Amino acid sequence: MNGNRVKSFIWLILVVFVFLLPAITRQDEYILHVGIIIAFNVALATSLWLLCSMGFVSFAHAGFMGIGAYTSALLFLRLGWSFWATMWIGAATAGIIACVVGIPLMRTKAVYFFMASWALGEVIKMMFALKYFRWFTGGWDGLFDILPPKLSILGLYIDFSSRVAYYYLAVVFAMAIVFIIYRLNRSRIGTILWSIHEAEILAEHVGIHLLRYKVLTFAVACFFAGLVGALYAHYHTFIYPRTFDIWVSEFSLVHVIVGGLSTVAGPVAGATLFTILDELLRPLGFYRVIFFGIILILTVLFLPGGLESIPGRIRSLVRRFLK
Amino acid sequence: MPLLEIRNVSKYFGGLEAVGNVDFDVDQGEIKGLIGPNGAGKTTLFNVISGVYHPTSGRVVFKGKDIAHLKPHAIAKMGLVRTFQATTLFNSFSVLKNVLAGYHLHSKVNFWGALFNTPATVKRERDIEKKAMEILEFMGLSKYKDELALNLPHGYQRALGISIALAAEPELLMLDEPVTGMNPEETMEMMGVINKIRDRAITVLLIEHDMRVVMDLCERITVLNFGKKLAEGPPEKIRKNKDVIEAYLGSE
């Protein structure tokens, strides 16, 4: 009971800090930029973690993020639709495609799923680059001028091309995604997903329709990835196929593993720390990936539960010390 | 009408006949035994009944409906639930959560309810938890409810496997070697539990190696050897059956 209250308190402080960050930093453009990237990475890693909780490691996640981004960007650029509609259509497109592709894909297991999802991610990326559709999707050159949205409600006019406004937009969506996935994980649905992770055959024999849950979970995770993609596209205003390279899925997976798999705090902590580290190591250029590799290996060897297991480890150390 | 009818069921793996033309019934309310030496095809037959494999030929009729081509989850939904030979559990769940997972069948999943923790959801979860505790009480596991499944001693793990199956509220419970690897004391306890399960109006079909257990528990026994039915009848008759003695002890 007490532990739960402490946890809620920590989350509350975190949320307040995130909301006050623009004021604390006097609207420092660079820090807010990093904040926005953290929000994207946290949302992406958390949606990937939802799949991990069912025992699936997907490398197609960046691809589905791309589907959301491209759908939203194309509707905005070619048809002139409002971002507030296109972002949802983008996310829904990612979810629906995941649902259809998931029916064969989610029948595979373990390392076969791993390879199949990898291939799927690459195929999606190549689809964006197709020469035949270059007039439409921009080929390898990508899409430009995907402008941030504007909003006027209740006499209030917000232009999201301002850094602060977009920061709040990204942060609110990231928090909503984390909250939804947290609630799902704590509910009966979460129990079912973890039971599939633990012992698929037993789950099936107490009446859990494996394929239905696997496909729906994949669709939900990819819906959120698509949502992040749409937010990403309208922030950077430029996307091209490499934006959704397999690297993005891999980094997201590293965030989840280093953060820890057992609760939603894992991907949140992992994505936050890694994004900050990535920024600090930026002068090293592409060599910083080496550090990520080293940290990943060290985590797996010495901190198997990830960052989220640290408080528990400290607690048991203290208890042993007091004895 | 029998609860479960196995009609001329055969299962081939490639050219290998694992089960050949087996035919037997399980009646409502009985404890039925399925025995046979190693490699007799008992487990294959169990897998065919529970939907892991589909039979090559023949029919499996449960409550008057052919279930031979249904998937395991659909069969479980009809009220036919099995346990596993290996201690297959949700290892990193607590004992209570294992049973809660087994209750999946009898509780609705509601996305919005899950999201906002509506009063209806909270009440439903509480009801399920109460029922799960009843099962743990019944199986003698209630004091271990917060223990992780993988930390339980072997005998309790077996009991937990049965608890999970009971949570799915079966009409026919299939037990795959429930006393294997148990000491005599644990075996006696498990036999008591199986009798109590039957007293809850749950029919039991049991595979077992331990002849003594089968003879004591079961009203009727079917004996398999090399995938074929060798004998069938009450324990006294099976005990005296020449073919059965030969299959177990070998012929001269």
For A70, the token pair is: 């491209």
A2 vs A223, more confident: A223
Q: Which residues, other chains included, contact A109 with Cβ-Cβ below 8 Å and sequence gap of 6+?
A: none
Per-residue pLDDT tens over the stretch B65-111 = 999 999 999 999 999 999 987 778 999 999 999 999 988 777 777 77
Residues of B in Cβ contact (< 8 Å) with A55? none
Q: List, as ranges, residues 174-203 from A with C-beta within 8 Å of B.
A: 180, 183-184, 187-189, 191-192, 194-195, 198-199, 201-203
B240 vs B204, more confident: B204
Give me chain A's average pLDDT, please: 92
Spatial distance between the Cα atoms of A41 and A21, rounded to a whole number of angstroms: 18
Asked whether residue A1 carries a pLDDT value surpassing 60, the answer given is no
- Partner A contacted by B107 (CB < 8 A): yes
Residue pairs spanning A and B at CB distance below 8 A: 87
pTM equals 0.90
Asked whether the beta carbons of residue B93 and residue A205 sit closer than 8 angstroms, the reply is: no
Asked whether residue A241 carries a pLDDT value surpassing 70, the answer given is yes
Average pLDDT of B204-231?
A: 88
Closest partner residue to B84 among A194, A202, A207, by Cβ? A202
Per-residue pLDDT tens over the stretch B129-153 = 999 999 999 998 999 999 999 999 8
Nearest chain B residue to A176, by CA: B115
Average pLDDT of A132-142?
A: 88
Nearest chain B residue to A179, by CA: B115
Confidence at residue A248, expressed as pLDDT on a 0 to 100 scale = 92
What 3-state class would DSSP assign to B231? strand
Closest partner residue to B114 among A183, A198, A207, by Cβ? A183
HEC string for chain A: CHHHHHHHHHHHHHHHHHHHHHHHCCCCHHHHHHHHHHHHHHHHHHHHHHHHCCCCCCCCHHHHHHHHHHHHHHHHHHHCCCHHHHHHHHHHHHHHHHHHHHHHHCCCCHHHHHHHHHHHHHHHHHHHHCCCCHHHHCHHHCECCCCCCEEEECCEEEECCCHHHHHHHHHHHHHHHHHHHHHHHHCHHHHHHHHHHHCHHHHHHCCCCHHHHHHHHHHHHHHHHHHHHHHHHHHHCCECHHHHCHHHHHHHHHHHHHHCCCCCHHHHHHHHHHHHHHHHCHHHHHHHHHHHHHHHHHHHHHCCCCHHHHHHHHHHHHHHHHC
HEC string for B118-177: CHHHHHHHHHHHHHHHHHHHHCCCHHHCCCEHHHCCHHHHHHHHHHHHHHCCCCEEEEEC
- Quick one: pLDDT band at residue B9, thresholds 50, 70, 90? very high
Asked whether residue B251 carries a pLDDT value surpassing 60, the answer given is no
What 3-state class would DSSP assign to B217? helix
B15 vs A65, more confident: A65
Asked whether the beta carbons of residue B90 and residue A195 sit closer than 8 angstroms, the reply is: yes
Residues of B in Cβ contact (< 8 Å) with A205? 50, 72-73, 76, 81-82, 84, 165
Asked whether residue A43 carries a pLDDT value surpassing 70, the answer given is yes
Residue pair B81/B74 in contact by the 8 Å Cβ criterion: no
Q: Which residues, other chains included, contact B128 with Cβ-Cβ below 8 Å and sequence gap of 6+?
A: B100, B103, B106, B107
Q: What ipTM was estimated for this complex?
A: 0.88
Confidence at residue B98, expressed as pLDDT on a 0 to 100 scale = 93
Residues of B in Cβ contact (< 8 Å) with A204? 71-73, 76
Asked whether the beta carbons of residue B104 and residue A199 sit closer than 8 angstroms, the reply is: no
Per-residue pLDDT tens over the stretch A161-170 = 899 999 999 9
- Quick one: pLDDT band at residue A311, thresholds 50, 70, 90? confident
Average pLDDT of A227-235?
A: 96
Confidence at residue A2, expressed as pLDDT on a 0 to 100 scale = 65
For A304, the token pair is: 């198997």
Q: List, as ranges, residues 59-78 from B with C-beta within 8 Å of A.
A: 71-73, 76-77
Average pLDDT of B235-251?
A: 80
Residues of A in Cβ contact (< 8 Å) with B125? 188
- Partner B contacted by A209 (CB < 8 A): yes
Per-residue pLDDT tens over the stretch A89-116 = 999 999 999 999 999 999 998 889 999 9
What H or E segment, with its residue span, contains residue B101?
A: helix B95-102
Residues of B in Cβ contact (< 8 Å) with A210? 73
A 10 A CB-CB count for B35 gives 27
The alpha carbon of residue A238 is apart from the nearest alpha carbon of chain B, in Å, by 34
Per-residue pLDDT tens over the stretch A290-309 = 888 888 899 889 888 888 88
Confidence at residue B241, expressed as pLDDT on a 0 to 100 scale = 85
Closest partner residue to A206 among B93, B109, B168, by Cβ? B168
Confidence at residue B111, expressed as pLDDT on a 0 to 100 scale = 74
Confidence at residue A19, expressed as pLDDT on a 0 to 100 scale = 92
